Amino acid sequence: ANAVNLLQKEIDDFNPTEPSQIQNYYLYTGYTFYHRFSDIEVEPSMLYQNFAGDGRSTADLNLKVRKMHRGDYYWIGVSLRSLVDQDFKPLSVSPMLGIKKANFYVAYGYQINVNEVLQPTTAAGSHMITLGFDFGCRQSKCGCTY
C-alpha cells in the first residue's frame, strides 16, 4: 500500500482551476505459484490506483508465466488496465515478454488501447522496452526480503 501527496496543496491565486486535492492511493498485491518439481512459475498480480482529486480509480490485472532454466528465465505476460469507477471498463491490454540471462534483463511489451477515446487516425498503442542489469549486490540478512 502507498499514499502520495497527503498534504493539501495551496491553490495559486492566478490559476483557480488548479486542483487542491492531489492525493493518490495505491494498493498492490500478487503471489507466485510454483511447484518444487517444475520449472514453471505463474504470477498473478493486481495494482489498484485511486486519485482523490477527481475520484477516478483504475485497476491493473496482470498475469506472468515464467520458465526457469539454470538460474536464468524466460517469461510471457499480459496486463489489463480497467476503470474501476466505470464498472471495470477496459482501457488497455498489454502483452509482454522478457528474458533474464546472467545479470541482464530484456523485456518488450505493447500497450493496445481498447477504449473509444482514441480517434481512428490515432496510433493504436505504444511500445515498451525494458533493459536492466543486476549489479549482484549481496543478499540481505533479513529473511523477509528473500
Which tens digit of pLDDT belongs to each residue from 2-54? Answer: 999 888 777 666 766 766 778 999 999 999 999 889 999 999 999 999 998 88
CA–CA separation, 65 vs 41, rounded Å? 6
On whether the CB atoms of residues 12 and 18 are closer than 8 A, the answer is yes
**Per the domain annotation, does 17 fall within a domain?**
no
Enumerate the β-bridge partners of residue 16: none
Residue 29 cell numbers, joined: 498485491
**Per the domain annotation, does 144 fall within a domain?**
no
Give the total number of structural domains in the chain: 1
Q: pTM for the full model?
A: 0.76
Question: Which is more confident, 40 or 89?
Answer: 40
Rg, Å, the chain Cα set: 20
CA nearest to 25, candidates 57, 44, 61, 49: 49
**Per the domain annotation, does 95 fall within a domain?**
yes
**Per the domain annotation, does 118 fall within a domain?**
yes
**Per the domain annotation, does 16 fall within a domain?**
no
Question: Which is more confident, 42 or 124?
Answer: 42
**Per the domain annotation, does 12 fall within a domain?**
no
Does residue 108 register a pLDDT over 50?
A: yes
Single-letter amino acid code for the residue at 35: H
**Per the domain annotation, does 43 fall within a domain?**
yes
**Per the domain annotation, does 65 fall within a domain?**
yes
Does residue 128 register a pLDDT over 70?
A: yes
Range of the domain at 75: 30-139
